[in-house]
Amino acid sequence: MSKIIQVADVHFGTENPRAISAFKATVDALEADALAVCGDLTQRGKHEEFEAARKWLDTFTIPKLVVAGNHDTPLLNLYERVVSPFERHDDYFDEFSAPVELDNAVLAGINTARGWQTRKNWAEGSVNLEDLDNAIATGDGVGRKTAFLICHHPFLSPPDAPMRTSTRRGRRASRRLAQSGFRYLLTGHVHVPSVTVVDHEQDAYIAVSAGTLSTRLRASPASFNLIDISGENCAVTIFNLHGDRFVPQKPHVLTPDFELKETHLSAD
């Protein structure tokens, strides 16, 4: 059995101190095996925000995989945001970019954030399909282990999220992921948790969105996810902040044939 903690949108600079403190206590008690950080560790990409985020991450001794989010670019330095948008992020977190392999699982990450784009909302996601193929190749070489892809932006907009997303090449990426050996896509960005089966004709995967540990809430309390892998089954438990502690909600139990009492999203 392996336990993976999924967290996103901590947004140091607008972080929730109660959530940060309670998260540390809860994760330690859960004795997790790995930490998947799905982007947006900072609010404005400032050095002091990255320093605070790195200091916080260093309190966790378990293996970590960290990917960038759109807020992890220097918001107020337009030149740097265009020319080297993730230099600051990589200075602090590049050592956590490599795939993480556990006894029965493997985690690989890609960057779907961009410093700027030729569209009005540059904060939306964009998938480099070559990066995706490289990540998929990582998972294909680990036998029967459960494979998780980590990125910031959902490939397809979660059905019940309070904000809609528009990820460039998201539909093609979603189809490729469904046809691969990866069974799970772990993302953030929308600030609300969800578990959804994404169907592409005969292929499918599970899209798991994490909430936020910041004060920037959208229709749900601060939260994170616990993913328990046991054999070929997996359970996703959302932990919501109530007062000064995180409380587990009813687990979403997932079977190898993608049985899940949740929303199925037909992508074709």
Q: Which domain holds residue 201?
A: 2-266
* CA angle 179–106–111, rounded 5-degree value: 70
pLDDT given at position 180: 93
Tens digit of pLDDT for each residue in 156-201? 998 887 778 889 999 999 999 999 989 999 999 999 999 999 999 8
Strand partners, 200: 203
Read off the CATH number of the domain in which 76 is found. Answer: 3.60.21.10
**Counted domains in the chain:** 1
**In degrees to the nearest 10, what's the CA dihedral of 218, 222, 228, 233?**
-20
Q: What is the DSSP string of 78-136?
A: HHHHHH-TTHHHHHHHGGG-S-EE-SSEEEEE-----S--SSS-TTS-B--HHHHHHHH
Q: What is the mean pLDDT of the chain?
A: 91
pLDDT by residue for the chain (268 residues), tens only, comes to 899 999 999 999 999 999 999 999 999 999 999 999 999 999 999 999 999 999 999 999 999 999 999 999 998 888 887 888 899 999 999 999 999 999 999 999 999 998 776 777 777 889 999 999 999 998 777 778 899 999 999 999 988 877 788 899 999 999 999 999 899 999 999 999 999 999 998 899 999 999 999 998 877 899 999 999 987 789 999 999 999 999 999 999 887 676 654 444 445 5
Q: Give pLDDT, residue 267.
A: 57
In this prediction the pTM is: 0.92
With CA atoms as reference, report the closest residue to 154 among 265, 50, 253, 243.
Answer: 265
